[in-house]
Amino acid sequence: MNQNFMKEKKILPLVISMSLPMVVSMAVNSLYNIVDSYFVAKISEEAMTALSLVYPIQNLMTAIAVGFGVGMNARIAFCLGAGDKKQADEAATTGLLLSVMHGVILMVICMLGMPWFLSLYTKNSTVIELGLIYANRAFLFSVIIILGISLEKIFQAVGRMKVSMISMMCGFITNIILDPLMIFGIGPFPKMGMAGAAYATGIGQSVTLFVYLWFCILRPLPVSFGKEKISLNGELLNKLYAVGIPASLNMALPSLLISSLNGILAGFSGKYVLVLGAYYKLQTFIYLSANGIIQGIRPLISFNYGAGERKRVQKIFAVTLGLTAGVMALGMLLSFLIPGQMIGIFTSNEETIQIGVKALHVISFGFIVSAVSVTCCGALEALGRGMASLLISLSRYAVVMIPVAFLLSRVMGAEGVFFAFPITETLTAVAAAFITKTAD
């Protein structure tokens, strides 16, 4: 397959054609969490709280898989842009092998550590029990989830974005059908509650992986796989992990942030923990268009950088920044137009909904400016500058956010945590612009 369309097609149509399927894919991916949460909230508020506490660990696992996948994506696209198919094949095959190893290790660690993790945030035995019921089943699908994500990044690296969209949609449709059936025991299924939610999601993700494999057979990729293409040499591993580790940390930092903020908010009320969990599920949906655009342009930047098209890389960055700022402005508008309906997906408690509406109003003031950080991180990863991207994310999720949230909570109470979001986004945008300029 000829990949030269990445350096020949007009930039705006190219960015849109690469990004639109990824926006749909991100929407579908975020709906996994929202659908689960919607049906779990029908069980009880304790069940929703348990799901909110498990979510950071699920997000951590996904972060590691996506981060390493970004390393594979950047390396494969760069090698194809440079015309080196042999190294692209080695990056794809070796990356899949390493992904399986990551999945096994993460499954064991997460399942063994979950009782201790849940006990850090609640003493409610019902919440802990429900959390363990969900987690112990959800993490059984770890290898399947990580393999699916790795194949997603390989398909993206060669410009086949529609396959990602189709695969994710098949998995989501399976999940949304099975969720009510398995949770509430409809039709031939027994009533499984939290276990049903976990199984429905895992089966949906299994379907996603199956569709990727089917496409590999139906229409072979520009890269090929085989035992003879496995290469564990230091140079390749360095290329994969030099981007993969910082990208994983970038993705994992929100889990650290959520856990830290849960610790602060738990001292005030469990309702604030629920609201934060609901916000992060909504945030995934709100940010999906921006993140979809970033996923779409990563292979474009890597390919053109490998092909020596530096000016084209700069133009792609500028177009991307404008598009991400536009979609985040829409996210802010929705947060003011229908905040009650958005929070109402996760709880029917009026007091909790009121807290959630205030939180969305405050947090959304940081949406538009966050486009700078999001775009800079994605572009730097595509260029192989993983550490520079990590510096931006560290500012956004840890170095600035956690201390500011803690200090404001001492002054303003629990609501101070929500005011920390727009403050952090503004400061981080300035830092991102500086880091990107100096890394260029």
Residue pLDDT, tens place only, 193-220 = 899 989 998 999 999 999 999 998 888 8
**319 in Cβ contact with 15 (< 8 Å):** yes
Q: Using 50, 70 and 90 to split pLDDT, how confident is the model at 345?
A: confident
Residue by residue, DSSP assigns 379-391 as HHHHTT-HHHHHH
Tell me 265's DSSP state. Answer: H
Q: Go through 179-212 and write b for each residue having 16 or more CB atoms within 10 A of its CB, e for each that does not.
A: bbbbbeeeeebeebbbbbbbbbbbbbbbbbbebb
What pLDDT is stored for residue 215 in this prediction?
92
What's the pLDDT score for residue 347? 75
**Rg of the chain, C-alpha, whole Å:** 21
| Confidence at residue 3, expressed as pLDDT on a 0 to 100 scale | 58
Q: Tens digit of pLDDT for each residue in 230-246?
A: 888 888 888 888 878 88
Q: Where are the alpha helices (DSSP H) in 267-309?
A: 270-286, 288-306
Beta carbons of 27 and 288 less than 8 angstroms apart: yes
Q: Please provide residue 14's backbone torsions phi and psi, each rounded to the nearest 5 degrees.
A: -65, -45
Q: Into how many domains does the chain fold?
A: 1
Q: Calculate the average pLDDT of the chain.
A: 86
Q: Answer whether 239's CB lies under 8 Å from 91's CB.
A: yes
Return d(Cα 176, Cα 385) in angstroms, integer: 38
Instruction: Specify the pLDDT at position 113.
Output: 92
Q: Report, in this order, helix, strand and coil percent for the chain, each rounded to 5.
A: 85, 0, 15
| Model confidence, pTM | 0.73
Specify the higher pLDDT residue, 263 or 105. 105
- End-to-end Cα distance, the chain: 31
151-178 average pLDDT score: 87
What is d(CA 427, CA 400) in angstroms, rounded to the nearest whole number? 8
**CA angle, 47 as apex, 43 and 50 as ends, to 5°?**
165
pLDDT surpassing 60 at residue 2: no
Q: Are 285 and 64 in contact (CB under 8 A)?
A: no
Asked if pLDDT for residue 16 goes beyond 60, the answer is: yes
State both tokens at 165: 């969209």
Q: Domain range for residue 211?
A: 5-439
Encode pLDDT of 388-436 as tens digits. Answer: 888 888 888 888 999 999 999 999 988 899 999 999 999 999 999 998 8
| Residue 253 structure tokens | 């930092």
Q: In the predicted model, is pLDDT for residue 314 greater than 60?
A: yes
Task: Collect all residues with Cβ–Cβ distance below 8 Å to 101 and sequence separation of at least 6.
Answer: none
Query: Is pLDDT above 90 for 25?
Result: no
* pLDDT at residue 384 tops 60: yes
Lowest mean pLDDT among 149-153, 195-199, 255-259, 371-375: 255-259
- Would you state the pLDDT for residue 109? 93
pLDDT of residue 212: 94
As a whole-number percent, the residues of the chain with pLDDT over 90 amount to 30
8 A C-beta contact, residue 263 and residue 121:
yes
**Per-residue pLDDT tens over the stretch 29-68:** 666 667 777 888 888 888 888 888 888 788 788 888 888 8
CB 69 within 8 A of CB 149: yes
With a cut of 60, say whether residue 1 has pLDDT above it. Answer: no
In whole angstroms, how far apart are CA 86 and each of 20, 155, 157? Answer: 30, 17, 15
CA 318/CA 435 separation, integer angstroms = 16
How far is 347 from 278, CA to CA, in rounded Å?
Answer: 9
pLDDT in tens, 186-195: 988 999 989 9
